[in-house]
Amino acid sequence: MPSFVTGFPRIGEKRELKFALESYWSGKSDFSEVEKTAKMLRARHWGYQKDAGIDLISVNDFSLYDNMLDMAVTLGAIPARFKNLEGEELYFSMARGNKNAVAMEMTKWFNTNYHYIVPELSPYDEYKLNASKIINEYKEAKEFGLEKIKVNLIGPITFLALSKRIDRGDTFELLGKILPIYEELLSEISKLDQNIIVQFDEPFFVKDLEPKHLSLIKPTYDKLASVADNLKIIVATYFEHASEAVKVLVNTPISGIALDLVHGKENLQIIDIVANSGKKLFAGVVDGRNVWINDIQKSVELLEQIASKVAKENICVGTSCSLLHTPFTLAYEEKLNNEIRTWLSFAKEKLEEIAIIEKLFRGKELNEAQKAILQSNIDANQTRKSAEIIHDKAVQARVAGDIKLERDDKFEDRIKIQHQVLNYPTLPTTTIGSFPQTAEVRKARRDFKNGIISKEEYEAAMKAYIDECVAFQEEAGLDVLVHGEPERNDMVEYFGEQLKGFAFTQNGWVQSYGSRCVKPPIIYGDVSRPKAMTVDWITYAQSKTKKIMKGMLTGPVTILNWSFVRDDIERSEVSKQIALAIADEVADLQEAGIKIIQVDEAAFKEGYPLRSSKIPAYEEWAVRDFKICVAPAHAQTQIHTHMCYSEFNDIIRTIEAMDADVISIETARSGNELLKIFAKVGYKQEVGPGVYDIHSPRIPSVKEIVEQIHKLLEVLPKEQLWINPDCGLKTRKWEEVKPSLKNMVEAVKIVRAEV
Ligand code: GLN
Ligand code: ZN
C-alpha cells in the first residue's frame, strides 16, 4: 500500500506565488506570469514528494487563492454580482471584490489559522460544472511523470456545511442540486485514466454531527462511489476524530478512509470497525499542522498495533492533515539555534519521515540517507526530553507551586474603588491599543533590527511617535489613552521575542489566506520572562500625560493560538507558564504606577475545540490562565481585555468568569443585536462594544456614532458602557483615524448631554 500526503502547501518556499499574485493584482505583470509561477510550483512540489518516496501524490491541492473558492467555481456556485465575469477576473473578484462588487466572506478553516472563502448559495441558482482546473492539473501531473495520482476535492457535505445561503436557508437542502454536479465531475475525472483515486476532504465529519448530517453521508457516498468503476474514493477527515461518520462510511462503497491519529486519538477506538469493513485505512501519523519531528519509532509501533486489526496491506502511511499548515522547509533557516533545529520538521522534512516510517513498517531496507535521518530522529527525540534549553527547573517549580489564581477583591467591590480612583466620566472613551503603523515606524523598527540605527536612535523614534499619539489623544479629548504600540510588529511576536522558550524562523511562512502568510513563533521550551517587557514604554507614555495611560499586554491563549506550540507537554501547561510570565508584567506595570492594564485575548474564541465534549476542559484552563495573568492587580487597578469577536452567545458565562473589569469587543458591524446576550444573562462588568468598524477606511460621521451609542443604550445602562472603536487601529491611516476618533468623542459629548 502506498504512502500518502493529504495535501501539500502551495504558496512556495520563497513565497513565489504570493509575489506573483501581488504583482499581477497591482497591474505590474500579466496573468501569464502567475500561471508560469503556479506551474513551476506544482512541479516542484510534486518533485519533492516523488523524490522523498511518497507514492500517492495529490493534484488539485494547489490553488491560486483557496480550495473552497476553487470548489465553488468548479460547481458553478457564482454569486449573482459576479456573473458577468469569467476566468481569472471572475475568480479573483470573488476572492477580493472589485469596483462594483464586494468580496465574498472569508472565515477560519476549522481550528487552524487558515481562512477560506465562504461560498454563497442560492436555491434559485442553476449549478453547472466547470472541471477545467482539475482536468488540466491532472494532465500536467501525468506529463510531469506522476504515476499514482489522487485528485483532491472538497467533499460535498463539508462544502455545504461551510457555505452560506443568501436567503439564510439551510444549505443542506441544496444537496440535491449540488450532488449531480459532483457526479458529473467524477464522471469527467474517470475519463482521464484507467484507474484514478479521488480524495474527498470531509473535515466537517470531525465535528459533533447531528442526526440530520449523519443521515446525509450514506446516500451521498453511495452515489459518489458508484459513478464509475475505475474510480476509487477516499474520504479524508482530519483535526479530530470522526467516529460517528466512520460508522456510516464503512457501509458505503468507498474504498478508503483517512483518519487523523495525531489530533484525533479517539479514532483508534474505531479501528476495528474500519478493519472489519475491509476498507483501506489512510493512517495520519505525521502531524500535518505542527513543526515538530515525528517520533518515528513510536509511529511504527502505533502502526504495528493497528496492523494487529487492520490487514497490513490495507494500511497507508501519511500525514494527519494537509501540510498546508506547516512551513515549507528548514533549508533556509540560517539563524536557528542548532539544537532547536534538530527537533523541527517542516513540510519537506515530513515527507522524509513518512517514507522512513513506511519502510520500517513494511520491513524494507532504508537507504543511507534515511538511516542517517532515522538516527538523528532517535537522538533528537531523546535530547528533547532532557535538553537544558527546554527544561527550566525554576519554571517547573513555579508552575507546580502555589499560584495566585484570583484577584483579592470581588468585581462589585473593585469597581467602586476604581470609579473613585480613576474618576472617569460616564461613557468613557478609549481605543484598543495600536495607532497607525506608518512607514517611518516600520522602517525604524527594521533599521534597528538590522543594525542600521542605534538603540538610542530607535528609542528616540519610538518616543517621538508615542508623543504624537499622546498629543493627538489629548487634543481629541479621549479619556483613557494608549501609547500606540509603535514598538510592536505583531502582538504575539513582540512578547515571544522577549520571553525565554520562544524561537523565531526566518522563513517559516504559513498561508493565512490568499497571498497572505504568517510566520508564527515556535514555543519550544519552558517559558519565562527574563525582564520587564513593556514597562519602559508605558511609563514613558504615562509621563507625557495627566490622563490615564492604559498598559497593553497579550494574553496566554492568544499567544498559544498564534504560535506553534511544543507537543511534549500539555497545551494547558504551556499556557500556564505564559500566564505566570504575563502576571509578572502586570505586577511590574502596577508597581510603576500604571492604573489600567489591558490583557488582549484577541484569539480566545479561536482556541475552542472542535468537539463540544472537549470544551469544558479548554474553558477551564483558558479562564484559569487569564485570571492568573491579572491576579496581581489590586482592587484599584482596572483590568481590561479585548476580543476580536462579537458572537458571545455560547461563551458569555466563560467571558464573565474571566473576571475582567472591562471588555471591549467587535460589535460595530452587528448594531446592538449581538450585545443583547450581555443584558440577557445579567452581565455585571463594564463593556466597550465597538461603535465603529475599523476594518474599513470609511470615516464614521458624528451622527452615525450617536445612533450607534443610542442603540447600545437600548441594551445596556450607561453606567456599564465604554465607547471605543471595535479593534486596534494599526492597519488604518492617520487621515482616517484622526477624524474618526474626533467624531467618536463628539458623539459621546452629545449623548452625555442627553443622559
Ligand atoms: N491591542 C491590540 C491592537 O490594538 C489588539 C489587536 C487585536 O485585537 N487583534 O492592535
Ligand atoms: Zn481586535
In this predicted model, what pLDDT tens digit does every residue of 68-113 receive, in sequence order? 999 999 999 999 999 999 999 999 999 999 999 989 999 999 999 9
Is 669's pLDDT higher than 90?
no
* 433 CB within 6 A, ligand 1: yes
Q: C-alpha cell of 586?
A: 502586570
Q: What is the pLDDT of residues 680-689, one digit of tens each?
A: 999 999 999 9
Q: From CA 623, how far away is CA 600, in angstroms rounded?
A: 13
Identify the nearest ligand to the CA of 434 by its number: 1
Is 657's pLDDT higher than 90?
yes
Looking at residue 670, what is its pLDDT? 81
Residues in the chain: 755
Q: CA 73, 74, 75: angle at the middle one, nearest 5?
A: 90
Average pLDDT rounded to a whole number, residues 553-582 = 98
Is 44's pLDDT higher than 90?
yes
Q: 432 CA to middle of ligand 1, Å?
A: 6
Reduced 3-state DSSP string for 648-672:
CCCCHHHHHHCCCCEEEECHHHHCC
β-partners of residue 480 are 548
Is domain 16-386 classified as CATH 3.20.20.210?
A: yes
* 642 CB within 6 A, ligand 1: yes
Looking at residue 749, what is its pLDDT? 98
pTM of the full structure: 0.96
| Confidence class for position 661, pLDDT limits 50, 70, 90 | very high
Q: 728 CA to middle of ligand 2, Å?
A: 6
* 602 CB within 6 A, ligand 1: yes
Distances (CA, A) of 537 to 352, 514, 540, 553: 46, 35, 5, 12
Is 563's pLDDT higher than 80?
yes
Q: C-alpha cell of 415?
A: 469597581
Q: From CA 326, how far away is CA 123, in angstroms rounded?
A: 37
Looking at residue 696, what is its pLDDT? 87
Would you call 411 helix, strand, or coil by DSSP?
helix
Average pLDDT rounded to a whole number, residues 353-362 = 98
Measuring from atom 5 of ligand 1, which residue has the nearest CA?
Answer: 728
> Annotated catalytic residue: which of 263, 634, 695, 710?
695
Measuring from atom 4 of ligand 1, which residue has the nearest CA?
Answer: 728
| Confidence class for position 457, pLDDT limits 50, 70, 90 | very high
Looking at residue 668, what is its pLDDT? 81
Q: From CA 287, how far away is CA 260, in angstroms rounded?
A: 8
Q: What is the pLDDT of residues 515-530, one digit of tens each?
A: 999 999 999 999 999 9
Cβ pair 564, 290 in contact under 8 A: yes
Q: 679 CA to middle of ligand 1, Å?
A: 25
Looking at residue 2, what is its pLDDT? 87
* 640 CB within 6 A, ligand 1: no
Q: From CA 263, how far away is CA 613, in angstroms rounded?
A: 15
Q: 707 CA to middle of ligand 1, Å?
A: 25
Is 382's pLDDT higher than 80?
yes
Q: 668 CA to middle of ligand 1, Å?
A: 15
Looking at residue 402, what is its pLDDT? 97
Q: What is the pLDDT of residues 569-604, one digit of tens each?
A: 999 999 999 999 999 999 999 999 999 999 999 999
Q: State the closest ligand 1 atom to the C-alpha of 727, by its place in the atom list counted from 1.
A: 8
Q: CA 191, 134, 178: angle at the middle one, nearest 5?
A: 85
**Residue 545 exposed, middle or buried by CB count within 10 Å (0-12, 13-18, 19+):** middle
Identify the nearest ligand to the CA of 665 by its number: 2
Is 695 considered catalytic here?
Answer: yes
Would you call 450 helix, strand, or coil by DSSP?
coil
Measuring from atom 6 of ligand 1, which residue has the nearest CA?
Answer: 728
Q: State the closest ligand 1 atom to the C-alpha of 643, by its place in the atom list counted from 1.
A: 8
Q: State the closest ligand 1 atom to the C-alpha of 644, by its place in the atom list counted from 1.
A: 8
Cβ pair 702, 747 in contact under 8 A: yes
Identify the nearest ligand to the CA of 485 by its number: 1
